Amino acid sequence: MGWFFGGAAMGPDDAGRLVVAVRRVGGSVTAGAGVLLSPGVVLTCAHVVNDALGRAVFAAAPPGRVALRIDYRDRHGTREATGELTHWIPPRRLDGTLPVREREDRVWHGDLAVLTFPRPPEGRMPQTRWAPMRPGQSLRAWSSSGRPGSFADVRVKTCDKSVGYVDGEPTGMSIGPAFSGGALWSVPGDAAVGLVAAHTMPPADPVTGRLLPHSSQHVARRSWAIPWQRIRRELASVGAVGLVDDEPPPDDPAFALFAETIHGIVPSTDLRGDLGRLVAGRCALRHPDDGSAPSPEEFARLLVTEPRALPALTEILRLRDPSAVRQLLAIGRMSPVPRLLSPREYGRLTEILGQLPGSVSARLPVAARAALPLAADYPVEPSGPAAAADVVDRLERLPGDSRSQGVSPRVPGLLRVMEYLAALCSEDRRAGLRLWCDGVAQRLGIPQSALAERRFDADEWAGALAACSGPPRVLVHITRGVLPDRYRLRIWCDEGTGPRQVTTESDRDHTGGEAARLLLHVLESFHRLSPEERRPLVEAVVDRSGLNLPIDEWETWSPDDVVPGVLGAEYPLVVNCPELLRRNERFLPEWRRRWRQLDTGASLRFSGATVGPRQIYGTLMDHQDAVRVAVDAAEHLRDGIVEVCLAVGVPVVVWDRGDESHAVDHIATVTTRELPEGVRSYRAKTVHRPSEYPGRPVLAWADADRPVPQLHLSEPQES
């Protein structure tokens, strides 16, 4: 119920639905009005309940747990419910004694009652937002009848936190008996500020009881109300303050310090109101439009409940009061709520990341792991805006790195990652991302020299990455066709900047020879566009059933060809099965860690006729430095062993899809990083010396640093 609040603005018509009608027992006559505190809870005056029950208006004795008919309104019309009396605060004289004297006492205290619906009400019910009553407020009250024109506009003349006097406008409806217990609504403040309690009627003839002729000396259209300030106190006295009060002070170590600091920084109510309106605007929150200001406590509550409020506040204060920014940010580090970026900074970063080429944005998780090698790992996620937003969300929660100059703030993990990502971008994109980093660093008070050091680290990393990057790739997603021995292909090329699609057909079946011809045609085009001396790697992306496809043996040789074309003999060809890696995502960190140890990790060999998946699993859990596995087991066990190895994150697995172990033995001496070329060399020998080289080797190769196309895979892998 504070100064800052969300949701859509409630106009006068919507606010009128907060007022309900309390019916008299045994009839349809209205006793008075009430206001919805929350869906199913009604606040009204105790004298309205007395009237509904047929008791004396100021009867003080609790009526018991009685039930009354309540008529409330939603967008579809009037509905009926039963409200049970749960809290009773009888009317009492100003000196605290009972009962109130109907003719002698002009004002009184107490006079509140709470009715609760025992069953959930039908339809969607609004909830009242409350604010203090202040002199000068323009308010609107509604009759319990619910008719569209049954409202009265009034202005608060005086308010002493116990009684507020309101005068009606000279035209329109005036407040009368049917208004008692209803809300007084501040349209600019978008909140209720009190309840209508009584109306000052014109003087009457003491004998006949008829109203005397009007005189300019008569009091006209004056009523008095129970201000919100007193409603809170009265409900607290019977243990019901939680029905209308704000939440208790947040259990956040920064709350009290924020309140104290804001009081010192912005002691002026006017300045605090201006600042509150600016912060609310940047955080897409609403606030009263009545010239009021948030209290320091309300401001502090916002900072420990709205994640981007603190950055928005410091963004506004950066040029006005840099020392206050440092103080607020230091307090913010004590709370788990504040995020790093203001709404503007976050929106701009989202815009920049959305404009990056897919080949660059797909490498955001790679840049994050390189920039923050000791931070929490990141799960495999599909690429695109959702993935970028998820990574940014995780990075915002991380503290800065450990290197800083003196007492200067540390460089946040998010800025470091964005510097690493910028190093992978083209010159214009890099400039935009680094300008964004400069702006955030200036707001946080981070020295330019500290950010420049991280920028230098990023450039060095990007240079090393380019120097040791793998060969260019042609990726082919292979699925089985409708007919046996027919295949459907989708092909991408990757010169080192990420996959770019070169074929889109996915519904045409090919024989192995036709598939080889298509792939060789793409490879020829690849050589023309990327004239490197290194042969490109052919990476076949398959599902579990495709691990043993004879892709390397696909061959094309028509009468017009001078030489044959055998894929596995000409090009290093590996298979990659993202499906298995995605089935058990808890092993993704293991996969990345093993891949980083590719040149130093251990090699294992599984052979024999009795080894099974359980033994393989236990061995790999015991040898967590294993990066390469050779499988030389009985054919009926081989595929299961291979799948276990791939599923737990072993990046390199070699086996023979035939029944020979010759290929596995032959390439056992080849270093792990050279395996694609070593297997290609063996496959070439099988073409002209098949009796000496009878093996049919398969090499599964899952590079954790290079993206695999995701949008077209049933089991997408990280980019």
Asked if 18 contacts 12 with a C-beta cutoff of 8 angstroms, the reply is no
Among the ranges given (115-124, 376-385, 530-539, 581-590), the one the predictor scored with the smallest mean pLDDT: 376-385
How far is the CA of 245 from the CAs of 237, 372, 562, in angstroms? Answer: 13, 44, 88
pLDDT score recorded for residue 24: 93
What's the burial of 379, exposed, middle or buried (CB within 10 Å: 0-12/13-18/19+)? Answer: middle
Q: 476 in a domain, yes or no? A: yes
Six token digits for residue 578 = 């993202």
**pLDDT band at 245; cut points 50, 70, 90:** low
| Whether residue 553 sits in one domain with residue 440 | no
Tell me the one-letter amino acid at 85.
L
Asked if 244 contacts 193 with a C-beta cutoff of 8 angstroms, the reply is no
Average pLDDT, integer, range 305-325: 91
How much of the chain exceeds pLDDT 70, in percent? Answer: 88
| Whether residue 503 sits in one domain with residue 389 | no
**pLDDT band at 711; cut points 50, 70, 90:** very low
Asked if 567 contacts 524 with a C-beta cutoff of 8 angstroms, the reply is no
Six token digits for residue 452 = 């420049």
pLDDT score recorded for residue 612: 79
**pLDDT band at 658; cut points 50, 70, 90:** confident
| Whether residue 463 sits in one domain with residue 476 | no
pLDDT in tens, 277-302: 999 999 988 887 777 888 899 899 99
What is the C-alpha separation between 330 and 332, in angstroms, rounded? 5
Residue 75 sits in a domain whose CATH number is: 2.40.10.10
**pLDDT band at 458; cut points 50, 70, 90:** very high
| Whether residue 67 sits in one domain with residue 28 | yes
Q: Identify each DSSP E strand in 160-292 by its residue range.
A: 164-168, 183-186, 191-200, 222-227
pLDDT in tens, 613-654: 888 999 999 998 899 999 988 888 888 999 999 999 999 999
Among the ranges given (272-276, 530-534, 691-695), the one the predictor scored with the smallest mean pLDDT: 530-534
Q: Cα–Cα–Cα angle for 643, 645, 647, nearest 5°?
A: 65
Among the ranges given (88-97, 470-479, 669-678), the one the predictor scored with the smallest mean pLDDT: 470-479
| Whether residue 227 sits in one domain with residue 304 | no
- Provide the CB-side half-sphere exposure for 652 (13 A, CA): 27
Q: 226 in a domain, yes or no? A: yes
pLDDT in tens, 471-497: 888 899 998 888 888 898 888 888 776
What is the C-alpha separation between 140 and 172, in angstroms, rounded? 12
| Whether residue 304 sits in one domain with residue 225 | no
What is the C-alpha separation between 429 and 110, in angstroms, rounded? 66
Tell me the one-letter amino acid at 355.
Q
**pLDDT band at 255; cut points 50, 70, 90:** very high
**Is residue 124 scored above 70 in pLDDT?**
no
Evaluated on CA atoms 491, 493, 494, 497, the torsion sign reads negative
pLDDT score recorded for residue 719: 34
Average pLDDT, integer, range 180-189: 87
| Whether residue 192 sits in one domain with residue 109 | yes
pLDDT in tens, 673-684: 899 999 999 999
What is the C-alpha separation between 414 and 36, in angstroms, rounded? 45
Q: 212 in a domain, yes or no? A: no
* Pick from 348, 380, 346: nearest CA to 362: 380
Of 266, 299, 332, the last residue of a domain is 332
| Whether residue 126 sits in one domain with residue 45 | yes
Q: 322 in a domain, yes or no? A: yes
DSSP string, 33-62: EEEEEETTEEEE-HHHHHHHHT--TT--S-
Question: Peptide bond preceding 564: is omega within 30 degrees of 0, i.e. cis?
Answer: no
pLDDT in tens, 355-372: 888 768 777 877 888 888
Backbone phi and psi for residue 669, each to the nearest 5 degrees, phi listed first:
-90, -5
| Whether residue 154 sits in one domain with residue 80 | yes
Q: How high does pLDDT run on average in the chain?
A: 84
What is the C-alpha separation between 215 and 336, in angstroms, rounded? 65
More confident residue, 442 or 379: 442
Q: 316 in a domain, yes or no? A: yes
| Whether residue 383 sits in one domain with residue 507 | no
pLDDT score recorded for residue 272: 92
Among the ranges given (52-66, 130-144, 396-410), the one the predictor scored with the smallest mean pLDDT: 396-410
What is the C-alpha separation between 32 and 179, in angstroms, rounded? 6
**Parent domain of 279:** 255-332
Q: Please measure the distance between the N-terminal and C-terminal CA atoms of the chain and give it in whole angstroms.
A: 45
Backbone phi and psi for residue 101, each to the nearest 5 degrees, phi listed first:
-90, 125
Average pLDDT, integer, range 660-665: 86
Of 415, 442, 467, the last residue of a domain is 467
Average pLDDT, integer, range 165-194: 87
What is the C-alpha separation between 381 and 263, in angstroms, rounded? 45
Element (H, E) at 19: strand 19-23
For tokens 């997603």, the residue is 477
What is the C-alpha separation between 56 and 519, in angstroms, rounded? 95
pLDDT in tens, 152-169: 999 999 998 789 999 998
The number of angstroms, rounded, from the C-alpha of 436 to the middle of its chain's C-alpha atoms is: 22
pLDDT score recorded for residue 385: 57
pLDDT in tens, 35-67: 988 878 899 999 999 999 999 999 999 999 899
What is the C-alpha separation between 362 and 388, in angstroms, rounded? 9
Asked if 566 contacts 573 with a C-beta cutoff of 8 angstroms, the reply is no
pLDDT in tens, 514-557: 888 888 888 887 776 655 567 888 999 999 889 999 999 998 87
**Is residue 30 scored above 70 in pLDDT?**
yes
Six token digits for residue 373 = 């090698």
What's the burial of 215, exposed, middle or buried (CB within 10 Å: 0-12/13-18/19+)? Answer: exposed
Asked if 409 contacts 396 with a C-beta cutoff of 8 angstroms, the reply is no
Six token digits for residue 559 = 């009468």
Six token digits for residue 288 = 């009263």
| Whether residue 355 sits in one domain with residue 312 | no
What is the C-alpha separation between 188 and 82, in angstroms, rounded? 33
pLDDT score recorded for residue 499: 79
**Is residue 247 scored above 70 in pLDDT?**
no
pLDDT score recorded for residue 655: 93
What is the C-alpha separation between 142 and 156, in angstroms, rounded? 16
Q: Cα–Cα–Cα angle for 643, 648, 652, nearest 5°?
A: 70
pLDDT score recorded for residue 533: 65
Q: 1 in a domain, yes or no? A: no
List, in sequence order, every residue forming a beta bridge with 564; answer none if it has no partner: none
Q: 630 in a domain, yes or no? A: yes
Q: Alpha-carbon Rg of the chain, whole angstroms?
A: 38
Of 452, 467, 482, the last residue of a domain is 467
pLDDT score recorded for residue 125: 64
**Is residue 138 scored above 80 in pLDDT?**
yes
Asked if 448 contacts 441 with a C-beta cutoff of 8 angstroms, the reply is yes
Q: Cα–Cα–Cα angle for 411, 414, 415, nearest 5°?
A: 50
**Is residue 214 scored above 50 in pLDDT?**
yes
Instruction: Kindly give the residue spans of alpha helices, DSSP state H, lying in 424-478.
Output: 427-444, 448-467
For tokens 């309140």, the residue is 259
Cβ neighbours, 10 Å, residue 304:
25
Taking 3-state DSSP, the helix, strand and coil percentages for the chain, each rounded to the nearest 5, stand at 35, 20, 45
Q: Cα–Cα–Cα angle for 582, 588, 589, nearest 5°?
A: 170
Asked if 317 contacts 324 with a C-beta cutoff of 8 angstroms, the reply is yes
What is the C-alpha separation between 170 and 221, in angstroms, rounded? 8
What is the C-alpha separation between 304 and 197, in angstroms, rounded? 37
pLDDT score recorded for residue 713: 43
**pLDDT band at 715; cut points 50, 70, 90:** very low
Query: In terms of pTM, does the model score above 0.75?
Result: no
**Is residue 470 scored above 80 in pLDDT?**
no
* Pick from 644, 636, 653, 584: nearest CA to 613: 644
Q: 121 in a domain, yes or no? A: yes
| Whether residue 445 sits in one domain with residue 349 | yes
Number of domains into which the chain is organized = 4
If you ran DSSP here, which 8-state letter would residue 249 be given? S
If you ran DSSP here, which 8-state letter would residue 492 be given? E
**Is residue 227 scored above 50 in pLDDT?**
yes
Q: Cα–Cα–Cα angle for 663, 669, 671, nearest 5°?
A: 110
DSSP string, 99-117: ---TTT-S--B--EEEEE-
What is the C-alpha separation between 378 and 381, in angstroms, rounded? 9
How far is the CA of 415 from the CAs of 38, 265, 336, 364, 418, in angstroms? Answer: 44, 28, 19, 13, 5
- Provide the CB-side half-sphere exposure for 121 (13 A, CA): 25
